[in-house]
Amino acid sequence: MNWDRIQGNWKQVTGKAKEQWGKLTDDDFDVVAGKRDQLLGKIQERYGVGKDAAESQIAAWESKADDSWFTIKAKHKL
């Protein structure tokens, strides 16, 4: 998946990021705002891992991204 697409749709994919990195706060995700280097730093900070480990986590997460991450699910009125 192209990181530009993730960054451009950050609000939509934040839920997936929260599932992956539960120690990150809503404020962290607001600061990250789709910037890969910011996410890298927040993962290092919150999880106490090195740059390579954080990079591996992001790469694995990014590789899971597919079109379903970017579709808006319609809410049906009852």
Exposure b/e, 36-65, CB count within 10 A at least 16 = b? eeebbbbbbeeeeeeeeebeebbeebeeeb
Per-residue model confidence as pLDDT tens for the chain (78 residues): 689 999 999 999 999 999 999 999 999 999 999 999 999 999 999 999 999 999 999 999 999 988 888 876 545 454
Report how far residue 65's alpha carbon sits from residue 74's, in angstroms, rounded to the nearest whole number.
20
Predicted TM-score of the model (pTM): 0.85
DSSP 8-state assignment for residue 15: H
Q: What pLDDT is stored for residue 74 in this prediction?
A: 44
Closest CA to 32 of 2, 59, 58: 58
